Amino acid sequence: DAKTTQPNSMESNEEEPVHLPCNHSTISGTDYIHWYRQLPSQGPEYVIHGLTSNVNNRMASLAIAEDRKSSTLILHRATLRDAAVYYCIPREMDSSYKLIFGSGTRLLVRP
Amino acid sequence: DSGVTQTPKHLITATGQRVTLRCSPRSGDLSVYWYQQSLDQGLQFLIHYYNGEERAKGNILERFSAQQFPDLHSELNLSSLELGDSALYFCASSSLAGISTDTQYFGPGTRLTVL
pLDDT digits (tens, 9 = 90+) for B22-67: 999 999 999 999 999 998 888 999 999 999 999 989 989 999 999 9
Q: In the predicted model, what is the mean pLDDT of residues B62-80?
A: 97
CB contact under 8 A, B100 and A46: no
- Would the CB atoms of B101 and A95 count as touching at under 8 Å? no
| B residues 24..53 contacting A (CB < 8 A) | 33, 35, 42-45, 48
The amino acid occupying position A111 is: P
Contacts of A84 (CB under 8 A, 6+ apart): A37, A38, A39, A40, A106, A107
Judge: B58–A31 Cβ closer than 8 Å, yes or no.
Answer: no
Give A96's pLDDT tier (boundaries 50, 70, 90).
Answer: low
Chain B positions touching A98 (Cβ under 8 A) are: 33, 45, 48, 56, 58
Contact between B101 and A101 using a beta-carbon 8 Å cutoff: no
Look at residue B97 in the predicted model and tell me its pLDDT.
66
How much is the average pLDDT of A61-76?
95
Q: Do B33 and A102 touch (CB under 8 A)?
A: no
Q: pLDDT tens digits, residue range A20-47?
A: 999 998 888 888 999 999 999 999 999 9
pLDDT above 70 as % of chain B: 98
| Averaged pLDDT for residues B70-90 | 97
User: What does the mean pLDDT of chain A come to?
Assistant: 92
Contact B44/A101 with Cβ under 8 angstroms?
Answer: yes
Q: How confident is the model at residue A1 (pLDDT cuts 50, 70, 90)?
A: low
Residue to substitute from A96, A99, A100, A103, interface B, most B β-carbons within 10 A: A96
**Least confident among A98-102, B5-9, B60-64, B66-70:** A98-102
Residue of A86, A77, A87, A80 whose CA lies nearest to A109:
A80
Q: In whole angstroms, give the CA distance from residue A26 to residue A90.
A: 9
Q: Would you call B56 an interface residue with chain A, using a CB distance cutoff of 8 Å?
A: yes
Residue B61 CA, chain-centre distance (Å), reads 13
